[in-house]
Structure 1
Amino acid sequence: MFGYYLKIAWVSIRKTPLLSLLIVLTVAVGIAASMTTYTVQYMMSKDPLPGLSDRTFQIQLNSWGPEKPYGYEGDEERTTRHITLQDAKNLLAAKQAPLQTAIGEFAEFVYSEDQSFSDGIGTDIRTVTIDFFAMMRAPFLYGTAWSAEDDEAGTDVTIISKKLNDKLFGGVNSIGKSIVIGERQYRIVGVMDDWPMLPKFYGAPFEAYQPTRDVFVPFFNQIRHELLTRSELAFNCWTAPADDSIRAFFNSECVWIMFWVQLDTPSDRKRYLDFIFDYAKDQRQFGRFQRDGFHKMYSVEEFLLNEEVVSKDTRIGVWLAFLFLIVCLLNCMSLMTAKFHSKAAEVGLRRAVGASKQNLFAQFSCEILLLALFASVLGMLMTLAGLHFTKSAYSYLSAELMTMDVNMVLATLGLAIVATMAFGLLPIIKAIQVQPASQLKSQ
């Protein structure tokens, strides 16, 4: 019987091609607008570290002095996402967490040893300690992280991205080769594979949806060579550095380093929080940490919420897109009402020869189902096109944001079918209420 109803539904659609096409297009446009927006928001809100996000914490210390911070105009009674170099060194040396990493950055020109400086690529370089790669589940295409000895000594070694490896070495295994960063040669010990972590919570919030950095070097290599690009660095200074030198900046109360730890159990977290409060008390003896409290540990989720990585504007955009979908479906409902109204004579005749309302409901439901299937496929294609154009318009964002996983594909197809069927119920109910007598008299 179902096959028979589908056959009748297909004949009906072919009899009114323009109206049927308009219904399909109306639904597809609404689906594409809503799902393009929702896909981006969904990818922005994904758990960047599944299974470890609730065990990975960002450490914030209130090392502010009694005076208002130098050059700072914000709220005094709060912490920042950064800590000083002195505190980063002390926390690393204390080894109170199974895994911990200090994260810095600088900018420099990068090129292969076969190229000249004029061929260099201006690159933002991430500096990390060795635990970073295990904590963040960094995938390696070739090689591994540098050794613990290289980490502590700040040796001239580097890990590069697959993209940079393709650009400089044609994608071959480049382990053991060198690149030039600024004026120094760095030996390549690892090549990272494509790394679709979103959002990238371990850096500044504005970087959360940008591609992964192409070059990583040991944190203490940055300190040893005094590498810093203050014009591109997010920092605050509670007192002005002694002079304009990088060494003075490193030795100052300027905060510029992100610090993350991994703690497996609630007792470990409590113990670490107690540790940083005790650490602050100890530092007060040296004239530091003169404000009470405000030392914090943020989990990945808490950090992302606190820094508003997913903005309210994005969420509002999703709501507006779905309101647009509802408007499209209401218009679709009107079109379906008009489509079924034209079948009044057919309905009356079928009722007169014995067809029940249930038979007519099943017949018209099959017609709506066919239209919904066409709309879902077209809506999916239009959504993919929308994501492609969004990717082109926002090329500075990670391309991973503009992709659909299996869940989003199924959600798009399912939404199109369910929404079309739901908004088709009222037109169907109205259509099957036609009285046979009224139609037979008019014939």
Structure 2
Amino acid sequence: MFAYYLKVAWLSIRTTPLLSILIVLTIAVGIAAAMTTYTVNYMMSKDPLPGLGDRTFIVQLNSWGPEKPFAYDGDEERVTRFLTFQDAHNLLAAKQAKYQTAIGGSKDLVYAAKQSESQAQSKEFLTVTVDFFTMFKSPFLYGMPWSSEDDAKGADVVVISKRFNDELFDGKNSLGENIMIGERLYRIVGVLDTWPLLPKFYGSSYEAFQHTRDVFIPFYNQINNEILAKNEIAYRCWKSPDDESVKAFFSSECTWIYFWVQLESAEDKQRYMDFIYNYANEQRKTGRFQREGYHKLRDIQDYLTYEEVVSKDSKIGVWLAFLFLFVCLLNCMSLMTAKFHAKAAEIGLRRAIGASKQDLFIQYSCEMLLLGGLAALCGLLLSFIGLHVTKEAYSYLDAELMQMNATLIAMTVLLTISATLLFGLLPIRKAINIQPASQLKSL
């Protein structure tokens, strides 16, 4: 019987092709606008480390001077996201977390050793400790992270991205090859595979949705070789370094290093909090940490909220897109009403020869189901086009932001069909309540 109703519904659609096409396209445009916007926002807001997000923390120490932090408008509880090198070094040496990483960075000319310097590219690179790759589940296409020994001594080794490997070595296995970073020669020990980590919470918020950095070198390599481009990194100083040298900057109270730890349980978190408070008290005795308390461990979601990585404007954009979908559905309701009004005589005749209201309700619900299915297909197509256009327009953003996963595709189909059926209820109700006598007179 259901197959019969679908056949009758399809014949009904074919008898009013223009109205049917208008209904499908109107719903499809609204769905595409809503789901394109929602997809980008969803990918921005998702958990970048499922299962580990509530166990991975950024360490924030209130190492500021006696005056209020000028950058925070007098908010006592706000502390800088960065640590000084002295504090990062001390926390690394203490080894109080299962995994821990200090993250610095700089910028320099980078090129393959076989290339000429004229082919060099200016690259921002990260300097990290070896736990970085384990903590954040970095996938490797070739090789692996550098060794603990290379990490401790700050060896001249490097991990590069798949994208950069494609540029320099045509995608071939480049392990053992050398690249120049500034004036130093580095040996490639690993090549990262495509890394769908979004948002990239571990660094600057403005990079959260951009491509993965192309170059990673040991943190202590940066320190030992005094590599720093101060105009290319974010830092804050409550007291100026002794002089303009890089060494003086590293030894100063300037904060510029991200420090992340991964802890196993709530008990471990409390133990680590006790540790950093005890550490801060010890530093106070030496004349540092002149403001008490407000040391923080923020998990990933808390930190993303704290840094406002997903802006309120993007959330407002989603609401506006769904409001546009609602308007489209209201217009479709009017089109559906007109469609069924044109079939009033047919409905009256069917009622007169014995069709019940239930029969008509099922028939026209099947018609709405077919229209919703067609609208879902068109809406998905338009959504893919919209995401592709967005990807091309914002090519500096990670392409993963503009890709629908299986969950979003299923959500699009279910939303389209459900909305079509819901907004078709009133037109169907009006249609099946037509009095047969009033229509039979016009036949």
CA separation of 1:27/1:73 partners in 2, compared to 1, >3 Å: closer, same or farther?
closer
The Cα of 1:442 is off from its aligned counterpart by: 2.5
| Aligned match of 2:389 | 389
CA contact (8 A) 2:196 2:400 kept: yes
- Asked if the contact 1:130/1:151 (under 8 Å) is kept, the reply is yes
| 1:1-43 Cα distance to aligned partner (Å, 9 max, x none) | 2222222212211111111110000000000000000000110
1:346 counterpart residue number: 346
Q: Report the CA distance between 1:266 and its aligned residue.
A: 1.0
| Superposition pairs of residues 11-410 of structure 1, within 5 angstroms | 11-68=11-68, 72=71, 74-75=73-74, 77=76, 78-410=78-410
Post-superposition shift, 1:254? 0.4
C-alpha distance in structure 2 between counterparts of 1:442 and 1:144, whole Å:
81
What amino acid does structure 2 have at the position aligned with 1:250?
F
* CA apart distance, 1:224: 0.8
Cα distance in 2 between the residues matched to 1:67 and 1:278: 22
Q: CA deviation at 1:367?
A: 1.1
Structure 1-normalised TM-score? Answer: 0.98
Q: 406-415 or 12-21: which moved more?
A: 12-21
SS of 2:93 mapped into structure 1 = helix
Return the letter of the residue paired with 2:250.
Answer: F
Which digits, 9 at most, give the CA deviation of each residue in 1:103-146, with x for residues without a partner? 00001111111111110111110100011111001001111110
TM-score by length of structure 2 reads: 0.98
- Structure 2 distance, partners of 1:72, 1:351, is 75
Distance 1:88 1:203 in 2: 15
The answer on whether the counterparts of 1:68 and 1:238 sit within 8 Å (CA) in structure 2 is no
Mapped partners of 2:407, 2:338: distance in 1:
35
- Distance in 2, Cα, partners of 1:75 & 1:122: 38
Alignment partner, residue 416 of structure 2: 416
> Could you list the per-position Cα deviations for residues 304-353 of structure 1 after superposition, in whole angstroms to 9, with x for gaps in the alignment?
11111111111111111001100000000000000001111001000000
Report the 3-state secondary structure (helix = DSSP H, G, I; strand = E; otherwise coil) of the residue aligned with 1:107.
strand
Inter-partner Cα distance in structure 1 for 2:143 and 2:72: 46
Alpha-carbon distance in structure 2 between the residues aligned to 1:253 and 1:217: 24
Instruction: Report how far residue 74 of structure 1 moved.
Output: 3.9
What is the CA-CA distance between 1:242 and the residue it aligns to?
1.2
Structure 1 260/73 Cα, relative in aligned 2: closer, same or farther at 3 Å?
A: closer
CA–CA distance in structure 2, aligned partners of residues 335 and 83 of structure 1: 62
Percentage of matched positions with identical amino acids: 64
Any stretches of 5+ residues in structure 1 without a counterpart? none
- Spell out the pairing of 1:418-433 with structure 2 (5 A cutoff): 418-433=418-433
Q: Distance in 2 between matches of 1:40 and 1:312?
A: 14
Q: SS at the partner of 2:110? A: strand
Aligned-residue offset at 1:421: 0.8
Corresponding residue SS for 1:237:
coil
4+ residue segments displaced more than 2 Å: 71-78
CA contact (8 A) 2:68 2:74 kept: no
2: CA distance between counterparts of 1:118 and 1:184? 16
Measured in 2, the distance between the counterparts of 1:349 and 1:76 equals: 75
**SS at 1:260's partner residue?**
strand
Deviation at 1:73, TM superposition (A): 6.8
- Structure 2 residue identity aligned to 1:410: A
Contact residue 157 and residue 217 of structure 2 kept, 8 A: yes
Q: Cα RMSD between the aligned structures?
A: 1.1
Residue 194 of structure 1, CA deviation: 0.4
Q: 1:268 to 1:73 in 2, by over 3 A?
A: closer
Give the whole-Å Cα distance in 1 for the aligned partners of 2:173 and 2:185: 18
Question: What are the superposed Cα offsets for residues 139-185 of structure 1, whole Å, 9 maximum, x if unpaired?
Answer: 01111110111101111000001111111111111111111111111
User: Any gaps of 5 or more consecutive residues in structure 2?
Assistant: none
Give the SS at the match of 1:54: coil
Q: Distance in 2 between matches of 1:87 and 1:142?
A: 34
What is the rounded CA distance, in whole Å, between the counterparts of 1:368 and 1:295 in structure 2? 58
Question: Secondary structure in 2 aligned to 1:83?
Answer: coil
Q: Which moved more, 1:31-40 or 1:361-370?
A: 361-370
Cα deviation, residue 362, structure 1: 1.0
Alpha-carbon shift at residue 72 of structure 1 (Å): 4.7
CA deviations 1:192-213 (Å, max 9, x no partner) are 1000100011001111101100
Displacement after TM superposition at 1:437 (Å): 0.9
Aligned equivalents of 1:229, 1:40: Cα separation in 2: 33
Per-residue CA deviation, residues 77-126 of structure 1 (Å, 9 max, x unaligned), is 22111010000000001111111000000011111111111101111101
**Aligned partner of 1:245: which letter?**
S
Q: Supply the AA of the counterpart residue of 1:340.
A: F
